[in-house]
Structure 1
Amino acid sequence: MKEPVNRARAIVTTAPGNLLVPSLAALLEQEYGITDTELLQVDYRLSALIPLTDGEEVTTPGHPAWRCFDHQSPVYAEGTGYLPVSMRGEQRGVLRVAPVSDERQLAGLAEIATALAHELATIDASTDVYRTARRSRRLTLAAEIQWELLPGRSRLRPSFSLAGQLEPAYAVRGDSFDWSDDGERVWLATINGMGEGVVASMLTTLATGALRNARRAGIPLADQAALTDQAIYDLHRGEQYLSTLLLELNLRTGLLSAVDAGSPRLVLLRDGEVSVQPLEEQFPLGMFEGTNYREQYVQLQRGDRLFMISDGVLDATGGNVRYGETALDRMLRRTTPMTPLGAVRSLLGDLRAFVASDLTDDAVVVCLDWLGPQTGGDGVSTRPDC
């Protein structure tokens, strides 16, 4: 089994980017007698698994492909194997292979699917093949800009797991999120830019670039906000500004630093109970010149779940009724057994069902689980990255 797996890894790392799946399919037929190999990519909305080649989208809840995607484990059903195509927590989709004689084949095939995920991440910026194929409709220009800004949609590390999602996925304008980690800390930002269309997306692009620039210079969280505030004010003189929530989590201690510049809100789910964290709401970034920002602190406990939620979630309306805090609290409690990606997918799915259509206003949800410090005797993580 090991030799075919190694050959498959070699193929996906050397094949031309647009031929990854056909090259892999040829090897699987030769080594395993598999005659049907298909990559199903999750779409931007997290509501469909779309074949790379021609075929029907998988949208039915409970379908083996969705069970594989949701639980991140191989699924065997009626002679077909479904394998998670994921790397470091970034869930790209599912590899469907058939015929598969029995479940014992799935372990080796799952390694091949993981190798495929790593290679897809490597070549994604150099080809449009996979981005184009995972769209069920055309993105607006503003949405194209926003999705290109993102660091990913989900992340898994020994000490934390997180995920985020934008809505309306194919027409989002000014809402976005960002994150980074260095093994000791994880930084998160949710951004709610004012304006419509490309104007909003360009404002968010400026803010994201300024925040990253300050963060990569090793500047404290409050000063990251201040420098970004100044960059936006220098360009727009207070005529355009944006709301943001900045977080920095110490992965060893669970101490969370926060700067609330005009909201989105921060919600804690602990032991099944939901509580909005009482942060000081400071001026949005770019509203005034020379604003000073202050950090606040929240001590997390192992197993805590945080949600960063923009106003577009609470203010969504269906039949002239606002979604509101009661519906939000109920839905957040229901996410307790889910992964962070499952949680944001379920929350925004519930929101779309409530409004009975696509959202008309932007909404962003980021979910972070702090799993607690994972340390060995030398004080560093002993678990490999996923």
Structure 2
Amino acid sequence: MSGGQSGLPRLLAAAETAAPADAIDVIAEDLRRRFNAAKVSFLIVDLTGKAVARLSTAAAASEREAERIPLFGSVYEEVIRTQRLHQEATSHGHRVIVPVTNRGDAIGLLEVLLPADPGEAVLDAVGEAAHALAYIVIANGRFTDLYAWGKRSRPPTLAAEIQYQLLPPSLSCEAAQFTLSGNLEPSEDLSGDTFDYTQDRDTLHVSVTDPMGHDIDAALAATVLVGALRGARRAGADLAEQAHRADQALIDHGRGHATGQLLRINLHTGRARLVNAGHPWPLRMREGAVEAITCEVDHPFGLSELTPHPYRVQDLDLRPGDRLLMFTDGMLERHGEKVDLAALVERTRNLHPRETTLALTSAVRDAANGRLEDDATAVCLDWHGPQETQRHVGSGADTQQASAARTKDQS
């Protein structure tokens, strides 16, 4: 077998020519042809973050059938967690599993069964195929429900269906200055919680919101709230004005009230500013110690008619190496009060924010024996430093370079 020159341009061109739902089969066919691969599978991580669905062939996908595999204790979990290639000799050939990841968003895995022990050139080619596959899935997800279906262990409620459209397209993001990830429980039965983020040339914007109520009413309130915040942000409004417009939108449309937290970080200076609208205090871990940031708390969005004073924009002390955790009250109240959140943040300090938020929300769900009475949402931000002085310090965050690294595990 020979790796040859980079096939990335050819793969992307072929995927663009294929139907959106068949684009992943372009990768499979290429690996079969070039390296005589016996089996090629794409395994997509589902909404819970605790299982993968094997999308092997167009036929299986069209029939809405896929093998669903729990991640806990599996080699798939190890590859997703470490973002490192796994290879092993089996009785049927040489098995290679590569992460399919884009900017920290662990989309899934590419699994290939090769006839013999591959050399470095072949491993490079499989890694390149996985890299291309990440872009193929992201691009074609706009045109087909295949990948959205693959992420679902069971159909979500109508409220959850609405709310997933409000979330950012990726729940994780890695950049030079920061690594960020969020997670929500219960994944198929959301009823209000949302988070959002975006990065422009100068600024990182993050929000966490929690409308009152449950089910469809909360989802509709979240729609108004997130729409107002995004509209204000995209119009260039500052934090105080964003908060004001969100508050007024809930009042104008009779959607009750919502707590929320708006964060804005200057990527050049590192200056962080915060608005807290009746929301739980965030936690900050600095040099291994976790403490609450006891900021001033203003009235929730939608209540300015009762407490008419402007939202305060506060400075937030954020330094390179800090880990910041923002969350909704479902992480603290009812079953959440059984979980020592600060201790769990300390124990997960060496994990990527993607793994940390999953561990935190899973702990709350486990405390409720899988039956949460309120949404539990967590957003974890590792701040590496401003653009001019950015440096990676002890956050445990992996990067795309780490994703490309390899470890050989023999079994």
Cα distance in structure 2, aligned partners of 1:120 and 1:302: 33
Q: Give the equivalent residue in structure 1 for 2:54.
A: 51
Contact 2:162 2:219 in 1 (8 A): yes
Match for residue 148 of structure 1 among 148, 152, 165: 165
Instruction: Tell me how far 1:384 sits from its aligned partner.
Output: 9.9
Within the alignment, does 1:122 sit opposite 2:133 as a pair? no
Instruction: Tell me how far 1:264 sits from its aligned partner.
Output: 3.4
Q: Give the equivalent residue in structure 2 for 1:308.
A: 326
Q: Deviations over 1:125-151 (max 9, x none)?
A: 221111112211111111111111111
Aligned residue identity for 1:310: T
Aligned residue identity for 2:232: A
Q: Give the equivalent residue in structure 2 for 1:38.
A: 41
Match for residue 84 of structure 1 among 90, 96, 99: 99
Cα distance in structure 2, aligned partners of 1:210 and 1:86: 31
Q: Give the equivalent residue in structure 1 for 2:76.
A: 65
Q: Give the equivalent residue in structure 2 for 1:75.
A: 86
Contact 1:64 1:77 in 2 (8 A): no
Q: Give the equivalent residue in structure 2 for 1:261.
A: 277
Three-state SS of the structure 2 residue aligned to 1:158 is: coil
Q: Give the equivalent residue in structure 2 for 1:342.
A: 355
Three-state SS of the structure 2 residue aligned to 1:2 is: coil
Within the alignment, does 1:244 sit opposite 2:247 as a pair? no
Three-state SS of the structure 1 residue aligned to 2:142 is: helix
Cα distance in structure 2, aligned partners of 1:384 and 1:342: 16
Gaps of 5+ in 2: 57-64, 390-398, 404-411
Q: Give the equivalent residue in structure 1 for 2:5.
A: 2
Cα distance in structure 2, aligned partners of 1:358 and 1:102: 46
Deviates more, 1:96-105 or 1:244-253: 96-105
Q: Give the equivalent residue in structure 2 for 1:16.
A: 19
Bigger RCO of structures 1 and 2 (CA < 8 A, at least 6 apart):
2
Contact 1:177 1:191 in 2 (8 A): yes
Instruction: Tell me how far 1:256 sits from its aligned partner.
Output: 1.2
Cα distance in structure 2, aligned partners of 1:67 and 1:9: 28
Aligned residue identity for 1:138: P
Q: Give the equivalent residue in structure 1 for 2:289.
A: 273
Aligned residue identity for 1:58: I
Deviates more, 1:134-143 or 1:7-16: 7-16
Q: Give the equivalent residue in structure 2 for 1:351.
A: 364
RMSD: 2.1
Contact 2:50 2:71 in 1 (8 A): no
Q: Give the equivalent residue in structure 2 for 1:194.
A: 212
Q: Give the equivalent residue in structure 1 for 2:32.
A: 29
Q: Deviations over 1:29-84 (max 9, x none)?
A: 11011121111111111110111245543324342222211112222133211111
Aligned CA distance change for structure 1 residues 291 and 231 (closer, same or farther; 3 Å): farther
Aligned residue identity for 2:296: E
Cα distance in structure 2, aligned partners of 1:165 and 1:298: 23
Aligned residue identity for 2:289: E
Contact 1:9 1:112 in 2 (8 A): no
Instruction: Tell me how far 1:180 sits from its aligned partner.
Output: 0.6
Q: How does 1:208-227 map to 2 (within 5 A)?
A: 208-227=226-245
Aligned CA distance change for structure 1 residues 208 and 291 (closer, same or farther; 3 Å): farther
Contact 2:12 2:136 in 1 (8 A): no
Q: Give the equivalent residue in structure 1 for 2:198.
A: 180
Q: Give the equivalent residue in structure 2 for 1:380.
A: none
Instruction: Tell me how far 1:103 sits from its aligned partner.
Output: 5.8
Count of matched residue pairs: 374
TM-score normalised to structure 2 length: 0.86
Cα distance in structure 2, aligned partners of 1:107 and 1:291: 59
Three-state SS of the structure 2 residue aligned to 1:300 is: coil
Within the alignment, does 1:171 sit opposite 2:189 as a pair? yes
Q: Deviations over 1:353-386 (max 9, x none)?
A: 222224221111000111112438xxxxxx9999
Match for residue 366 of structure 1 among 368, 372, 379: 379
Q: Give the equivalent residue in structure 1 for 2:409.
A: none
Aligned CA distance change for structure 1 residues 4 and 234 (closer, same or farther; 3 Å): closer
Q: Give the equivalent residue in structure 2 for 1:160.
A: 178
Gaps of 5+ in 1: 377-382
Cα distance in structure 2, aligned partners of 1:67 and 1:14: 34
Aligned residue identity for 1:144: E
Aligned CA distance change for structure 1 residues 6 and 113 (closer, same or farther; 3 Å): same
Aligned residue identity for 1:188: V
